[in-house]
Structure formats: structure tokens, C-alpha cells
Amino acid sequence: MEPTRYSFNVTWREPREVTPTLDEISQNPGLYYQAGDIAWVLTATALVYLMIIGLSLFYAGISQPRTSLSMAWLPLMTAALISVQWFLWGYSIAFSNWGNSSNYWGGTSGFALHDALLRPVPATRNSDRDGPYIPEILYALFEMVFAAFTGALVSGSAAFKERPGHFLVFILFWTTFVYDPIARWTWNADGWPSQLGWHPLDFAGGSPVHICAAFTVLAHCLYHLHIFPRISHGMGGPKVSSHGHDSDDLRDIPTGGAPALPDIPPAGGHVPPPPSHPKANTQPHNCQTEESAANYILVILGTMFLWLGWFGFNGGSALGSSVRAVTAVVNTHLAASTGGVSHVLISAYISRRQRKKAGSTSADSVDKMNDGRGNGRRPFIFSLVDFANGAIIGLVTVTPAAGYIPVTISPVFGFLPVLICIPLYRVSELIEDYLFIFVIHGVGGVVGMLLTGVFARGDIAELDGFTKAEDANGAWGGYGMQILIQLTDAVVTAAYSFFFTMVLLILLDVLGFALRKIVWRQAGEDRKIGTSQVLVEESTQGAITTSTTEVP
């Protein structure tokens, strides 16, 4: 059968096969840079910043009213601080390849972006022919919002653990010594993995963004649970319980009958009853209680901003307007959609089974509701927060793979990680990761890296017109060794992030106690009022809550 032919009026990129100097580029930038590529990356940069706004809304919605404003403010403040750091020295550490740079640490040529204006940046390190180039100043801006988002993501670990001021000092050092080196070895052609001859496939930040942030949160939580109490006691600080709280524990704070510990929704998105409640151990996991303080409207708005921004996060990582960028956006949307739907259905099924097994009076009163047709069937209870968590898991998992996989595979990146993450929510509860950052971003990120090693195909990667197909194949494309490379990259990133986060936290707290002038942690009296009222001028006036939707 004769193949179908298509007619194109082709306009070639001009000029071709020339080697201009920076002076020549500055005189005629329109000849050397594609306007469409610049426009798309600028748009993608703005979309990624929307993710930071979405994260603020999400964190505020999932927190108690007494901390909601500080949890909304902290990601924005973190992003602004990291943007300044990136401008001054962060970009130079991660991407400067001149002067005294090494495989692990950049040189000083990019300090304050003084030499990052028109120098062309290739859209990929695996390029064997002409492709879209963008000016370095735009590339620095795009990577700046990535760094800002990663720091904002980590800010969720500060909930009920420390003062925002302490966290901001920590995140400044953390970005310099943890995120920037990881970004260098992931995305810089001079990074040590490339110099060793093996190339992890990470399209948009599975390792430097999600795995790095998640294992930072893990270290942060474990530190405040087990290490800080010993440091505080040994250096004459306030007595701290094994749960990371002062002796004036939150459990002793009168709150009008609501649970004194943080009312953070667990896996199903709903707050458990107070420890003294007679049904505390039998309450169905997915049933909402009257004590819930989560603002689900903010949660959904935050999720939608994250979803929208992720189109720029993944699609913009092609660094040009190409078919590969379109494929990345489609993969992103399908993975998020599949993840949201899967999480809702799986959690509803688990909740129904738990309520049936519990057999309590309260559960029976819900389960035996009439379905409108005269039947006493047990209803499925669908949760808004389950949908939000599932969509974010899908977005996280597809991040390293978005530009490497065909769209027919992307639903796997939504369903499979949700299936893995749901049973692991208990891990975040045990380490007091109240926002489930470790499971959603850590487990989701690792699963995404491994699935990328399985399903990556060179023929998808070369849709940008210049990437080498042979350098972008996974097991499906005939290179099974890529799975081991992906696993190694994930493990190294996780270990590096965890270890150096611990080191930074210990050094900062030891320094704080030694100076006796810096109150790093949140005092017990401050917790009674809430960080929103103590550390942010405005105070909350309440929260909007919505109930779950019951579907027979």
C-alpha cells in the first residue's frame, strides 16, 4: 500500500551551518534564535511559577486554620529567596562550565548572571545536529523557577516543627549545597554521570526536584522526631518530647473538642477523630468528621494550578516548540487524569471495605442509607482530597518520562504509582510528614524514574528533531541497562539529599543554641496561637469546608 504523503511549505531555520560570535548574535539575534522557541519557554516559565502559587493554596488548604496563612506564605517567601540565590550564585554552581568549574561544582563565571545573556544554550545535551537554541538568560530564568518550586515543595515539612525564619535560613544553605549540585549532575553535560559515560533519562526533574525534595523532607521529619530532642537537651534548650513538641505539648491545649495535634488529612484526605473519641480506633479511614479543618476549596484550587503549571514544567523542558513538547504535555495530562480517577476509585473501594468490616453503629447508619431505588446498598464515598493526591502522584511520576514515552503508555504512569503509594501513606504519618510529601513525591519520583527506564523510546525523544535516538532508549527500546542507570541515579540523589540535609540541620541548630540569641524552633506558647498569628501579621478568620460526595 502506497504510504500517504503530506505537502509542507517548509521554512528552514536561518542561517544554517554558520558559527557566529556573540557580537554577531547580539547585532542580529532574530537570525539566530527562533521566536517560537523563546515564546514557548517564556510561557512555560510563567506556568511553572503558577505551580508555586498552587502549592501555597494546597498547603494552606490542607493545614489547620491556625497555621494556614503561614503555610500559604512560606512557599512564596521560599521561592522569592531562592530566586535571589539563583541569580547571585545558584545558577553558576549548577550550570557554569567555564573557569574553575568541576564535574560537581560550577565556576564563578555565572555569578549574578553577568555572563549569561545571549550565549546559545542547546535544548539537549544529546544533540548531533542543529536544533532549537535559546539565549542563556532565558534558560537561567526557566531553571530558576524549577529551583524555586523545589524549595517551595520542601517548605511543607516545616509545618508544626519550626519557625519560618529558621526554615528560610536552612533552605538558603540547602539550595546551595544540595539542590544546585544535583541539578548540575542531572542536567549539565559536564556533570559527573555524563563524564562517566552513563546518562540517566530525566526529562523534567524526577531526581533533582521530586526525589531530592522528598528525601529532604524525610530527613527533616526524622531529625525533628529523634535528633533535635537530644541536641536540645544536651545544649540546655527547651525540653522536647519524642514527638518533636515541647513539654507544653499540643495535646494539652484546649481547642474546643478538636484534636490538639495537627488536623492533617491522612491517606483518604480526612481527619481522624480525637484520640479520646470512643470510635478513634474504629472510625472508617475515609469518613469525614466534624472536626475537620481542611479547606477543601483551597485544596482543589491548588491542585488545578499545579496541574495547569505542570504543562509548562514538563512541556517547557523540551526548551523549544516541537512535537516532543506537545507529546510531553499530552503525557502529563493523561497521567494526572488517570492518577486522580484511580486514587478516588481505589480509596472509595478500600473505604467501603473498611466500613463494612468495622460494623460500628455510625458506619451502619451511613452504609444502610437508601440509594433512591429502595435498596439498602453501601455507598461509595468519593473524596476530593483523594482526587487531588492521585492527580499529583500522576504528575510527579510522569515528570522524568514525559518527553521519552509514547502517549499510549502515559496512563500507566498514573495508575501504577497510585496503587503503590496508597498503602505507603502510613509511612508519612509515622514520621509526622503531615502533608505526605515523602510518599507522593519520593515514592512517585522513584517509580517514575524506574518506569522511564522501562518505557523510554528514542523515536519519541527525537521528535524534537535533534536528539540522538540511541541515547534515549529504555528497556522497551532495546536497552535494558537503562533501568539500572535510572535506579542508581535515584538512589544517589536520595542518599545525597538525606545525608546533607541532616548535616545542615544539625549544624544550624548547634549554631543557634551556641549563640543563644536565635530561637530556631516554635515555642509552646506560639503553637497555642498558631504560626499564622505569631509570625504572620494577618490571622485567619476560619475555614471553608466541603463534605465528601456520596455516590450509591
Q: Output the 3-class SS for 190-250.
A: CCHHHHHCCCCCCCCCHHHHHHHHHHHHHHHHHHHHHHHHHHHHHCCCCCECCCCCECCCH
According to the model, what pLDDT value does residue 25 have? 81
DSSP string, 292-330: ----HHHHHHHHHHHHHHHHHHHHGGG-SSSHHHHHHHH
Residue 100 lies in a domain: yes
3-state secondary structure of 134: strand
Query: Which CATH number is 363's domain given?
Result: 1.10.3430.10
**What are the 10-residue block averages of pLDDT along the chain, 552 residues in total?**
59 56 81 88 98 95 81 94 96 82 76 79 52 83 97 89 87 97 88 82 95 97 86 58 40 28 36 34 35 71 97 95 96 98 94 76 47 55 91 98 96 97 94 93 98 95 83 88 95 98 92 62 46 50 39 34
Q: Is 461 helix (H, G, I), strand (E, B) or coil?
A: helix
Q: Is residue 530 in some structural domain?
A: yes
Give the count of domains, the chain. 1
Please indicate, yes or no, if residue 312 is contained in any of the structural domains.
Answer: no
In a domain, 469, yes or no: yes
Residue 11 lies in a domain: no
Report the alpha-carbon angle 339-45-70, nearest 5.
Answer: 70
Is 288 among the domain residues? no
pTM: 0.82
295 domain-assigned: no
Tally of CB atoms within 10 A around 337: 17
* 298: in domain: no
Domain residue limits at 86: 31-274+321-551
Which cell goes with 184?
548540575
